[in-house]
Structure 1
Amino acid sequence: MDQKPKILIVDDSAFNQEMLSEILEEQYEIIKADNGFEGLQVVEKDPHGISLILLDYYMPHMNGFEFLKIMKQRGWLSQIPIIMITAESDGEFIDQAYGYGIFDFIVRPFNVSIVRHRVENTILAHAKQKRLQYLVQKQVKEQGKQSDMLINILSHIVEFRNEESGQHVLNVRQITKVLLKKLTEIDPQLKLDNETIEQIALASSLHDVGKITVPSKILNKPSRLDPEEFEQIKKHAKNGYDILNKVPNYRNEPLMIVSKQIARWHHERFDGSGYPDGLKGSEIPISAQVVAIADVYDALTMERVYKKAFPPQKAIDMILNGECGCFNPLLLQVLKDPTVQKELKEIVQMAKMEVISDRREFLDLCTDPILTPSLRDDFAAEALDLISKRDQISYTFYSEKTQEIRFEISLDPMFLTISSSMAKKYEIPSSILDPQHDPLLLEKLGKENIDRILHEIECSKGKEDDIDFNFSTEHGGEPHWWRIILHPLYHEKDPKDVRGYLGLLLDIHSQKMTHEMLERSASIDELTGLLNKNYTQIQVKKRLEEADEMMEYAIAILDLDFFKNANDEYGHAFGDEVLAYLAKRIQGSIRKLDIAGRIGGDEFLIMLQYPGNLETIMDRIFHTISSGSYKGFPISISMGVASTEYIKRNFDDLFNVADFMLYEAKRSGRGCLKIYKGE
């Protein structure tokens, strides 16, 4: 059964809480908080599970505006829409409330219809807004990936002319990002958010684009450059700026502006001794200052045609001692940070491993007959050491920087090893013996999920495929979705005997919720909130396929009598209101397990499972729906019914007979019910 959307009522008045609960509890799950502090505690426990907050303004300890301030500070206001409850009608108060980020108002004393409509409209509007944001973000991300790819291709072309692998571009980009992140910690006044940092790092890829104008024989000269050749090299900074500045249509784009700054000024120095313009101090954009250090550090630590590589610590010492020019003291402070030095060292180690990207090349070289046995042993030892270091660096990097939970299961004995960063995050040991009986793991994953994992492992014996399935754990009383992937590891002596599994546990909750939201959006009739025609058919057919042979099922088709008059006399907007009103009556007349959908203009379908007398049940439903009026327009329906007592369990047959009975009801003067009884 579908769970009701959750509404949090934050109000110190028990009377108001009870009034709102009575109005809304049929369609929503109600959570109550007596003041702002309690309300914030509820939100903190489950910020993604609350669909709407109804917030009173006048409360002790914390008023409504103070509550909104904290919601905004913690980033919850964009996730949860808020309707303010008040008796205030002052324009200044209303403007201030909207300024704090509320979605709408409900004024006391409560009007039942207004409360229900505003709550429903707010939840629907917010869901559509979030869906639109998701689609826009997805499009922007895709465009960003394409821009990233094109810039990397161009920068690699430049490096190719320079007889380098292109690794320099990647290194400078990563180093730039590391330095900028630390710089923002040391000097928050710079106000560099993640988007700006990513933009500067991406723009750094084009720092040497001007080298495309420098002759290859100078770029790749293995010996010291003479003064004339050095002057040629120095021109690449201004030439790079000119190349980028002539790109049509994009001159004023933020990424292009930063790229031009970096290309022109990444050889400037803080004391004015650099080139091409002799800028000094704050005249040099911070983007160019950071890329300058990144460029120098990578040049020192990587082997070039004219020099051997310096060790990472030696390179840092050379920069700090002023051997590579004068840099911003703030950036030198960043470079002294042990964490930054560790990250830069890892970048260098990873880059050096890219020289030989396939491990088989190591093995081929280690067994090359040209090498002497002694050289082969030395090379093999060095190769294995590099492989081990690369594995360790890669494993640490990916484990710490992603939200994947990486683990390994040994089968004999049963032993679980989890990446240390994830073990710390989820407060579980990194090594667990006999995991199927570990109390903490049972609490986190649940016995059913652990039993299923072990069952899947048992069933996969003798198969080479990965184990891959989704499961849910309980989080705040709600299901939280995960995907688990297990890859078998085999004994060296017996390639068919599985000794364990490498595993990934992926948090797929947001993707699943987004998928379900989009699926619901695609299945709902926007006007009435019932299922649309296509999804109604899908659900009815599915129900019939899965039907209990001991139960009977019925399909009813109904339409609104004289609906054309509503449109002709009052207009189509009023006609839409009538249809929405009728839909609510239909929903109120059936159970949650029954199916209701709009299948045409004013035509609706109901499918129900019934245990007893169908005529009595349908008569109750008919008279619940077909009575009274809406704003003076009489609500009268005609209904035709077909059941599996007389028709085989097939959607088309049941639908056609119910449709025929509807026609019979209309021929009999409308406003009546006709049930097929096998005549």
Structure 2
Amino acid sequence: MTGRDTILIVDDMEINRVILRGVFEADYNLLEAENGQQAHVLLEQYHGRIAAVLLDLVMPVKDGFQVLKEIGQSGMISEFPVIVITAEDSVQNEMQVFDMGASEIIMKPFEPYVVKRRVQNIVELNQHRLNQEELIEEQAARLRESNSAMIDALSSIIEYRSAETGQHIRRIRIFTKALLHDVALSYPEYGLENSEIQMIVSASSMHDIGKIAIPDAILNKPGRLTKEEFEIMKTHSVKGCEILAGLDRMSDRQYLKYAYNICRYHHERWDGRGYPDGLKGDSIPIYAQVVGIADCYDALTTDRVYKKAIAPEKAFTMILNGECGTFSPKLLESFKNVKDIFAEYSEIYADRSVPKGESSDLDISEKNHHREAIDTLQMGQAKYFTLLRYADSTVMEVDLGTGIHHLVYAASSNFSALKSGDRFEDVLKNFAEKSAHPEDRESMLHFLGPDLEQFLDDGLMKISRKFRIYDRHLKTYGWCECTILRISDGHPYQRRIMLVWKELKEAGELKQPGTSRIPGTGGAGNLLGGIQQCLNDKYFTMLQINEGLENLLGYEAWEIKEKFRGHYLEVIYPPDREEVLAQTKKQLSSGNVIELEYRVVARDGQIIWVLDKGNLVTGTDGKEHIFRTLINITQSKQAQEELRLTLERHRIIMEQSNDVIFEWDMKKDKMLYSSNWEKKFGYIPVMEEASERLLTQSHIHPEDLEVVEELLRDMGGSMPYGQAEFRLADRDGCYRWYKVKATAQFDRAGKPFKAVGIMADIDDEKRASQALEEKASRDELTGLYNRKTARKEIEYYLERRDPKEMAAMMLIDVDDFKLINDRYGHMFGDAVLQEISSVLTRVLRKEDVISRIGGDEFLIFMKDIRRVDILKSRAEKIRESFQSMFRQNMTSCEFSTSIGIACCPQDGTRFEDLFRHSDLALYDAKSRGKNGYSLYEHSLSEQGGGFPGILPAANTRIDSNEEQGKKINDLIEQIIQKICEEKDLETAVDSILKTAGRHFGVSRAYIFEKSEKGCANTFEWCSRGIRPLAEYRQTISDDQFEAHCKNNFDENGLFYCPDIAQLPKEQKEALELRGIKSVLQCAIRDGGECKGFVGFDECVIRRMWTKDQIYALTLTAMFLSVFLLKKRAQDRAEKTAAGLQMALDNQNSWIYIIDPDDFHLIYINEKTNRMAPDVKTGMYCYEVFFARTRPCEECPAKNISRNINRTMEIFNPVLNVWTEADASLIRWGEKDACMLSCHDITKYKYHRKDDGKWL
């Protein structure tokens, strides 16, 4: 069932196809046909993908019974089930369709859900059946392997008994396989399939099983057997059959048949001189003959107790010459083709050799398949034509019984008239009139008419007469002998003959080799072009040429002989030489005339195209000569090449284009398409009778046939241009949208005679457009139809409604929906509306129109309602479903609904009338206390145009829960207090999550925070029995996090989903893995950027949070966000500061930071601290480093606020060092500071004298 994903719906009623499409489109790819003929076309193309066929019986063009019959005859009935869906309720019809192979019958009208389940069950059963068939085939293969093992065991017994067999059995199998493959290739009439060959090869092992009954003294006698002993030895074939007959309980009877026939007949011979039964010719099974040759060859090429082995070459010749008995001529031709294979494997599997593996005999068929030699049929034909060429006669075969005739071989163009005419009598008449001498015409027709009939009646084998035939080259008549030969196969009523025409004239003297100029041609010869006479050898050695050929090539005769050794082949353009040789050989095999086009190379290097027309004659030297006339066709070839390149450019453009170009010949009603059609669609398009077959037998979607018919009608009328959009099945059986643009061509009378157009694939654009239209037609919250679309659908139905058909409109209003919104909030209200849409979709049928027309108001239109009680039942079911909503959720809210119903046609046939009446019925249901339904009655008083106001009933008000609100306020105060009092913020966060989670009874409360490594779960609290997220190794990548923030959080940073089943598949599956049923998350934002989120999961039930609960949780998340962001910023600052200090401490410079206003130290790095360990921050730099009482005059930090950066060299007399000081203005904390980095340059400022003092 691999790839069977398509259901074919065959029904002429569009409404039925629409209903069935709605049932199956979510699970299957669908194909549709509106008549049996179109169904047949689709089945032929896509039967390998069909899972089931849903078939109507009563249809135009071709009904369901005919379709069933064709499916059964084609064998497709075993591939897929056919389910008949019909309104014809009769026992006779049921019996007939079941007898024809239908799997099930479903009566109309039907319940869509029931149809879906029954079809799915049948499809699954069919899949199971097909799987079982595959399993049975596998078991049969294993059984065959077991049989093969048993055969090998029996063969081994024979090998142990017979001293000379050795690997005889294995070689026989290999030889048999090789020869059978060649026979199958060369003689298709034997019908040898690969599976059959494998079975025969296996059965060949049993050919000598009867030797087990031959006494050892005879079986292993080292010498020639006596006559009596040989008679005993000959019984081994019959004895073997007796053994095999005892195995008749074997399940594989076909195998046993092959083994039996091989064992009994492998010693029979073609001439009837074999044993045991003396069969003759084709009465011997072909496979037994094959094993007989294999057995002979092996006996000759291996050592036996009574002889030594002979060479394979000699054994091969002995078998062909009949020294081992006569074999079938066809079989011997195949034997010649496998000569090398026999020799190779007889060496590989010689008795004293041990092959390395079993793989050597597995590729025999490949060797046969790829052999370079021509097959046996081609060889026989080649021999036949070789004889005809030798005889130099024109030959014609005629079957007077059937009238079939054909010219086998034409020795010259003088007999070309024998190709004209349909009947043999017409051919003879044309030939006599055009070619026979006027005085011989009557006698020729009599000879080939009444005399021929008498010839056949008398049972003669040969008769001849002479006639004069016109010679087209010599422009005169010459004598010719016509011989009639009977073709006899022994059949008394066979009337097949062969006519042989032999020209009786002496050949002129032909010059011996040596290129020379043909004399006497003059201007006439030049007009003909180049003329030459050459030998029919492998070089086309030239004997004579005319002046025209010299002019064509630019060479004189002596130059050709000197430069090319007279070889015309060397004058031919090198890439064309092999083709010229091959074509010359091919054309001369069927006549003495050749006509070729190829290129030659002139003296100046120019490539010249020539047309070569030649005749083959036999010279006085006994050799074959060709007279060639060469005509320069370079200009026409260049024009052809330009045309070819132009066509090639068009082909390339078409291959790269996804569009199809078509042409419609209106007079012939024939369509032609560009070459890319079949590559694109995978099937042959409708061509003949296009205007009719496109509408009945094409791959066009049934709903679009009207559009195509209109386009054809417009193009066939006076419209110069037309276009249409329709769906067409592609190579995979899927419908795609195409746009056709066509332009008509008009004749001189102004009538259209042809249309040319282009067909473009617009499926992506069309489906995108349909998706936008679908989105625009739907209510954004519930996904139901909006008011405008619902009205359009209903009015469309009412305009086309069958007058006898009843329909109904329902108006549904949720009772006290405003109070639900006020208490639980609009998010909860939206969830309620979404749940209502799910309830209505589940309760109602797919063909019903369901829409949301207002806030909490819904409109239902039900088509084809048979009885009013069905309406009441459906309304009651809707009411009960509303009451059961959210019962499993943590909410005390109860739901009810009021329904008003108006029926069509009794309450109106227009949309406005039905809406007004159902509106009045709804008001009546409300006035009765709500939570019920009411059918419109004329007694109901009119209440005006719009929808009536909702009157609250006495017991429907929902009080606000002040105590619950007080608890929520207390919770918020606790959270704020914990944040303010707890010194360890992380401990506080854990405590807050625990408090909030327990207060609201959620399953899990957690925080995800974004970092450089992704978004990770940093805090979590779980209620008892709930697995923590840490066990799921929850880390969200940056891409996933960004997508989550963008797609899920609203403008307030809130993501609320009471039921994860409403989420996209991938997101839903991810949450299901964590056991989540409902989720509420609040974003952590910093400067508008999402940095994480606080989440609350419900894993036990679907959770509906109230407005106050959502507010409290959102506020909790907001408090946590603020403090978490502050804590993370502080952590980052401390980490940055620690990193900066480490960097400064590891510098090989004295670095310190001062306040630029008063020069007190703010920071000292490690190297500075080692140099001056007593220095502390807060001291003044000029005091501790320079022992001064006031700031240095030349300080680099002076006026640093203006300079920003400053570098200078400073000598420190206290430390006796020179430094290069870099001063930079930096930001330290919340104020400006100056960082000084001092580098020791003392060694560059001084040098030592010899006494070691500094200068």
User: What TM-score does the superposition give when structure 2 sets the normalisation length?
Assistant: 0.28
Q: Which has the larger helix fraction?
A: 1
User: What TM-score does the superposition give when structure 1 sets the normalisation length?
Assistant: 0.48
Whose Rg is larger?
2
Question: Which structure ranks higher in relative contact order (CA pairs < 8 Å, sequence separation ≥ 6)?
Answer: 1
